[in-house]
Amino acid sequence: MSFSIIMTCLSLAALTRGEESKDSFLWLEEVEGEKALEWVESKNRTTAGLLKQDPVFSEINKNCLEIFNSKERIAYPHIRGQYIYNFWKDEIAERGLWRRTPFLEFFKENPAWETVLDIDALCKKEGENWVYQGASILFPDYDICMLRLSRGGSDAAVMREFNLRTKAFVEGGFFIDEAKGSTAWLDRNTLLVSTDFGEGSITSSGYPRIVKLWKRGTPLNSAKALFEGKAQDVSVRASIWNKPARSYVFITRSITFYRHEYFAFENGRLLKLDLPEDARIQAVFKGQLLVELRSDWETNGHVYQQGALVSIDYDRLLEGDRNIDLLFNPGARSSLGSISTTQNHVLVNIFRNGQYDDLVKCSLENGKWIKEKETVLEHGTLSVVATEESSDRYFLTYESLLTPQSLYYEPGQGRQQEQVKSLPEYFNGNDFRVEHYESTSKDGTKIPYSVIIAKEARLDGSNPTLLYGYGGFEVSLRPRYYSTMGSAWLARGGVYVTANIRGGGEFGPQWHQAARKGNKQRSYDDFISVSEDLIQRGVCSSKTLGIMGGSNGGLLVGVAFTQRPDLYNAVVCSVPLLDMKRYGKLLAGASWMAEYGNPDLPEEWAYIKKYSPYHNVVAEKTYPKVFFKTTTRDDRVHPGHARRMAAKMERQGHEIFYFENTEGGHGSGVTNEQLACMESLVYTYLLQLLKR
């Protein structure tokens, strides 16, 4: 590196340090610092005091709590051997029961559930605020598992071996201390582990970069390293796809959020799979890898389109020969959703027109793929929630914007699908209609959005309207039945709008990639165009329009209200990114540079700084009274983003609301009571600003 380049880098680093040294709010990044928590407590007290005194708060809180604790909720099944497992929370089991019931018992009106682990009792016994985060169960015996428990709902978790027969932790069993990591069972006495092994084992994003093979009865620090990634990678992890005939073991090196290297672990050796780095392995089925393509792939004299799902023979791929079949080709307004497998079928979920799902059932016979069945329900969402590898039975759900979710069971073997359970209506869907519109973004792109509005509503600009968006990481917003939103908002005269802006995955990888890095402003232009279109149609006015988003969506609404404060009268900004200069230095922020860019590079900071909310909020403008909310235990998006933005806006003379749950991770709380309280604060705020 030349002397001039070195001096330029040093000057930029000094400038950055200079900018940060002038920031008088950096102390709020001390997550559990005494001064910072005193500030949080003061803001919580003020916000809760102002909103809870409104009579509508207690009404909404009562309704939300009844919904969250309702016995009519669906007990979502997970098939493991002879049992169906479920995790359940209510007013008694506040932190939840991990429970199970025999398969056929599940279909009874009131199944007899056996408690496997009472999280509330465990918290009391161990003096911890444990939150259940799932379990990796040994296949095919299903008698032991690695249980994930986090403190306060953070992503980092403690992993402990648990015996499902004795329903107790295994004395002297596998134990991994708190970290962002994972385990996979190679066999009963061997784990593949990615965790914090000590100095140098974590990436700059805060995730493991090493996978080790750990034998029972040996200390973790003596485990054999199988693979090491680089410090600048996002993460490295192991995964195992268990099938009746054999298991497939992979190690995934995530170079960035969207680029990966896959290695097969065969006979003690790692073999790199010859796949495009931006492709994603979605499933393994009868010796075939099912791979989603995020860019065009030219191979074997053929071009497979971006967004396609292809099938590749695993053994031939290891031998250097690509044998590829096409399962799904995207259209202009369709995209690939989830992929699930049973013993003899692949269930392919396809999202169409931003409005509804198809579920296509495929089978492989004599080396040929056959499409067996297509389930189409307009304006709704189909989701496969449970399958098993030793049969063709599975469970799926259906819901729409105005139709409560129902759980269906597909027995397989040609038998009739049956409805198992349906949620009650928590608001009268017959009082509303759903409209689908398109706005025109700044560059001319048509942006679809859906509106739930009362049938009798007048388009005179008076309707209190809540616009929701996300627009990042190829996440699709699909039609959902929101019980608490309907009860708290729609039933009180509100209108609810969902915007399918670029950056999401509604229309495949190209819809996402059109609004990444240097083109991220397109997401915000799209969202603003929907806002303007709602006003032009008379659905609402700027005085009755509010916006809401969380995480990347928190950044979205942060940009929207700083760029166009004239459009909005309320903003719910949840667990947000807001300081886009420092985001890469905070918690998992470095892993998202493939989405936003690297603010430490001058050429990339040049476009990031134009929209970074923290750097564009000024004293001279008039902004809506923003409601910032986050959680202390969020170890994905640092709570310092919301804290510092709120403090800066107050210093500038702007009024804000701020509330921070002490636990909940990258969400709104842990217990149903916490969740109901947060929902009630939000909707009380929205009703105060938009309806009265």
Structure tokens at 655: 């009024």
Task: Quote the Cα angle for 518-524-525, to 5°.
Answer: 95
Which strand ranges, in their side-by-side order, compose the sheet holding 260-266?
Answer: 235-242, 247-254, 260-266, 269-272
Pairing of strands 465-468, 495-499: parallel
Per-residue pLDDT, 666:
86
Per-residue pLDDT, averaged over 17-29, amounts to: 77
Q: Would you say residue 14 has pLDDT above 90?
A: no
Per-residue pLDDT, 668:
80
Q: Would you say residue 2 has pLDDT above 70?
A: no
Question: Which residues, 6+ apart, have CB-to-CB distance to 195 below 8 Å?
Answer: 159, 176, 177, 179, 181, 182, 201, 208
pLDDT digits (tens, 9 = 90+) for 387-441: 999 999 999 999 999 999 999 999 987 777 899 999 999 999 999 999 999 999 9
Q: Would you say residue 6 has pLDDT above 50?
A: no
Q: Is 521 exposed, middle or buried (0-12, 13-18, 19+ CB in 10 A)?
A: middle
Query: Phi/psi at 616 (nearest 5 deg)?
Result: -120, 0
Task: Quote the Cα angle for 614-475-398, to 5°.
Answer: 135
Per-residue pLDDT, 669:
86
Q: Would you say residue 39 has pLDDT above 70?
A: yes
Q: Would you say residue 245 has pLDDT above 70?
A: yes
pLDDT digits (tens, 9 = 90+) for 184-234: 999 999 999 999 999 999 999 999 999 999 999 999 999 999 999 999 999
Q: Which of these, 84, 212, 189, 179, lies nearest to 138 by C-alpha position?
A: 189
Share of the chain above pLDDT 90, in %: 90
Per-residue pLDDT, averaged over 15-43, amounts to: 84
pLDDT digits (tens, 9 = 90+) for 261-278: 999 999 999 999 999 999
pLDDT digits (tens, 9 = 90+) for 520-557: 999 999 999 999 999 999 999 999 999 999 999 999 99
pLDDT digits (tens, 9 = 90+) for 567-576: 999 999 999 9
Return d(Cα 252, Cα 56) in angstroms, integer.
Answer: 50
Return d(Cα 157, Cα 179) in angstroms, integer.
Answer: 5
pLDDT digits (tens, 9 = 90+) for 88-132: 999 999 999 999 999 999 999 999 999 999 999 999 999 999 999
- Whose tokens are 């670029």? That residue is 502
Question: Which CATH number is correct for 426-690, 2.60.40.10, 2.70.98.90, 3.40.50.1820, 3.40.30.10?
Answer: 3.40.50.1820
Return d(Cα 637, Cα 29) in angstroms, integer.
Answer: 11
Q: How far is CA 562 from CA 548, 555, 587, in A?
A: 14, 11, 25
Return d(Cα 153, Cα 135) in angstroms, integer.
Answer: 15
Listed in sequence order, the DSSP H helices in 297-420 are 314-318
Per-residue pLDDT, 688:
97
Q: Would you say residue 47 has pLDDT above 50?
A: yes
Cis amide leading into 639 (omega within 30): no
- Indicate the helix (H) or strand (E) that contains 557: helix 552-563
Q: Would you say residue 665 has pLDDT above 90?
A: no
Per-residue pLDDT, 11:
38
Q: Which of these, 672, 643, 590, lies nearest to 180 by C-alpha position?
A: 590
Return d(Cα 324, Cα 616) in angstroms, integer.
Answer: 49
Q: Which of these, 468, 457, 347, lies nearest to 410 by C-alpha position?
A: 347
Q: How confident is the model at residue 20 (pLDDT cuts 50, 70, 90)?
A: low
Per-residue pLDDT, averaged over 75-83, amounts to: 97
Provide the 10 A C-beta neighbour count for residue 127. Answer: 7
Residue type, 61: N
Return d(Cα 580, Cα 257) in angstroms, integer.
Answer: 17
Question: Which residues, 6+ apart, have CB-to-CB distance to 179 below 8 Å?
Answer: 156, 157, 195, 196, 208
Catalytic center residues: 551, 666
What are the sequence ranges of the domains in the chain? 73-179, 351-423, 426-690
Per-residue pLDDT, 1:
37
Average pLDDT of the chain to the nearest whole number: 94
Question: What's the chain's length in residues?
Answer: 692
